[in-house]
Amino acid sequence: MQYRSHYESPLGGITLASDGEALTGLWFDGQKYFGSTLTGEEEEKDLVVFDQTRKWLDLYFEGKKPDFVPKLGLKTTFFREAVWRILLEIPYGQTTTYGAIADRMARQMGRSSMSAQAVGGAVGHNPVSVIIPCHRVLGSERGLTGYAGGIEKKIRLLELEGISGYRA
């Protein structure tokens, strides 16, 4: 069984999903790939992981760096999960580029190179927005690129963390 809950953020509604133990989804309502881990057979329920996620989001939207991550349940391909694990390592208030992640993935996979576009596809399908900080990934020369929640939300998340110096 899958469960969902709702959170009202300063940037709009957020839907949370869980398998009962771990957070499996967190999407801005209406974003691209919304509900990608949902099957259509969910029920609204209060869960410990939802309480932890709300606490994380409250801290984050107050401009604080949460010192924990709710338990995540990422069921996906090896490649996407590896990219998402790298995203979790991007420090609060800092950014990286698709190219830098591609270089790191290439090294991890024993390859000489990796496509930044392949990394971009994995980043774009991140089912746990904000907590897995895909908004901290910029294009080459610090350019803003797509964000499943919308560029406006990406800009606001970056500003919330005190990040500037990107190109619109």
**Is residue 140 left, alpha or beta, with left meaning phi > 0 and alpha meaning psi from -120 to 50?**
beta
Q: Is the pLDDT of residue 41 over 90?
A: no
Report yes or no: 122 and 85 within 8 Å, Cβ to Cβ.
no
pLDDT of residue 135: 97
pLDDT of 78-134, one tens digit each?
Answer: 999 999 999 999 999 999 999 999 999 999 999 999 999 999 999 999 999 999 999
The sign of the torsion formed by the CA atoms of 88, 64, 135, 124 equals: positive
Of the pLDDT bands very low, low, confident and very high (cuts 50, 70, 90), residue 32 is confident
Q: What is the pTM of this model?
A: 0.93
pLDDT of residue 111: 94
Q: How many Å apart are CA 104 and CA 17, to the nearest integer? A: 30
Q: What is the mean pLDDT of the chain?
A: 95
User: What is the residue type of 25?
Assistant: G
Of the pLDDT bands very low, low, confident and very high (cuts 50, 70, 90), residue 51 is very high
Q: Largest Cα–Cα distance in the chain?
A: 47
87 CB-side CA count, 13 A? 27
| Residue closest to 3 by CA, chosen among 48, 52, 34 | 48
* Catalytic one of 134, 137, 138, 148: 134
pLDDT of residue 19: 96
Q: Is the pLDDT of residue 141 over 90?
A: no
Whether 95 is catalytic: no
Q: Name the β-bridge partners of 23.
A: 18, 72
* Strands in the chain per DSSP E: 2-9, 12-18, 23-28, 42-44, 96-97, 137-138
For the chain, give the percent of residues with pLDDT over 70: 100
